[in-house]
Amino acid sequence: MTAPFTSLADFRSLCAALSTPDKAAIAGATARNAQLTKPQGALGRLEDLAIWYAGWRADPRPAIRAPQVIIFAGNHGVCAQGVSAFPPEVTVQMVANFEHGGAAINQLSKAAGARMDVHALSLATPTADFTLAPAMTESELLDALQKGWSAVDPPADLLVTGEMGIGNTTSAAALAAALFGGTGADWAGRGTGVDDAGLARKVAAVDAGLALHDPRDPLEALRCLGGREIAAMAGAMAAARALRIPVILDGFICSAAAGVLHRLNPAGLDHAVAGHLSLEGAHQRLLDALGKQPLLSLGLRLGEGSGAALAITILQGAVACHSGMATFAEAGVSDA
């Protein structure tokens, strides 16, 4: 789907005027939930998830038939600061691995019955090192937002955005600090597994980026400190909102991208749930800032959309119970 914006100002306007869930579908789903053959509330959070999903799909008895996982890949100039345990070549190598079906996300997407797409974004041209210059120009940011938007398949009924980009936990930490306050020490974590000296370099890189730029505006923060794959995730999540496709957030990097939409509009993530709590140090802090409770906490620290892809099956379970269970009247089970 072609992106309906040709400037950052247009994107900002789209994010200011967002779709809302369908009230009649929420009312219908709430009424149905109360009649299903179980004690009231016995399916816990699954019940809320099903009603939330029904509202966004404008259908009181919805189904999940076409989940889409999209992986965006980008390279980061800030790798020159020694912020990752792995070299930047791994980004393009992992893209090939995704294309051949060999990565964790391939297996998790398959297990969830999701279609998986991979978009490599100008890997031969890393972003600028944000400790020295803005990571992206305005036109590079616009291009990444548009590519993210266009990657969403309109008939999809659930979206996961994942990423691959060596160095991107540093970029995400800087973006989170710019969006929500705090310093490098608050937001930098161990990513692919840096040692104490590597963590100190990450903290210093984030603090240098915050000192160099004036990223009080969320899109300017994304431009100066983000990366192409992070911007594309934000663009895809915004497209999902326009298409009323619910979103499952992944780990730290995806949540930082989501933070841009949250700062552009406090209701900007109402169509999203947090799939999991990543082991990356500041993910809990970031989810708190977004007001989201994770569905899973399995000690994952991978990215790629892996935790969110696992959570697809939770949402499928919620919606299958909601739409497929019998009511007390249908089953002839005595009501309380």
Ligand X SMILES: O=C(O)c1cccnc1
What residues line the site for ligand X (CB under 6 A)? 169, 191-192, 250-253, 278, 280, 283, 301-303
**Of 143, 157, 163, 250, which one interacts with ligand RBZ (CB under 6 A)?**
163
Residue 204 binds to ligand RBZ (criterion: CB under 6 A): no
Tokens of 33: 């939930």
Residues 92-121 that bind ligand RBZ (CB under 6 A): 94
Q: Minimum Å distance from CB 86 to ligand RBZ?
A: 4
Closest CA to 221 of 281, 153, 174, 277: 174
Secondary structure letter of residue 156 according to DSSP: -
Are residues 247 and 18 in contact, defined by beta-carbon separation less than 8 angstroms? no
Nearer to ligand X, 173 or 242 (CB): 173
C-alpha span between 251 and 281 (Å, rounded):
11
Q: Minimum Å distance from CB 220 to ligand X?
A: 23
Q: Minimum Å distance from CB 242 to ligand RBZ?
A: 26
What three-state secondary structure class fits 158?
A: strand
Identify the helix (H) or strand (E) that includes residue 51: helix 45-57
Residue 192 binds to ligand RBZ (criterion: CB under 6 A): yes
The residues annotated with a catalytic role in the active site are 304
Q: Tell me the β-bridge partners of 119.
A: 72
Residue 84 interacts, among ligand RBZ, ligand X, none and using kind-specific CB cut-offs from 5 to 8 Å, with: ligand RBZ
Tokens of 247: 């979103």
Nearer to ligand RBZ, 84 or 255 (CB): 84
Q: How far is CA 303 from CA 56, 78, 144, 167, in A?
A: 26, 19, 19, 12
**Of 86, 153, 204, 325, which one interacts with ligand RBZ (CB under 6 A)?**
86
What is the chain's alpha carbon radius of gyration, rounded to the nearest angstrom? Answer: 20
**Of 167, 227, 275, 281, which one interacts with ligand RBZ (CB under 6 A)?**
167
Residue 191 binds to ligand RBZ (criterion: CB under 6 A): yes
Among the residues of the chain, which ranges form H helices?
A: 8-16, 23-35, 45-57, 89-99, 104-112, 138-150, 168-180, 184-187, 196-212, 218-225, 228-242, 252-264, 283-290, 306-324, 328-331
Residue 166 binds to ligand RBZ (criterion: CB under 6 A): yes
Q: Minimum Å distance from CB 90 to ligand RBZ?
A: 5
Q: Minimum Å distance from CB 278 to ligand X?
A: 3
Rule CB under 6 A: which residues touch ligand RBZ?
Answer: 84-86, 90, 94, 163-170, 191-192, 302-304
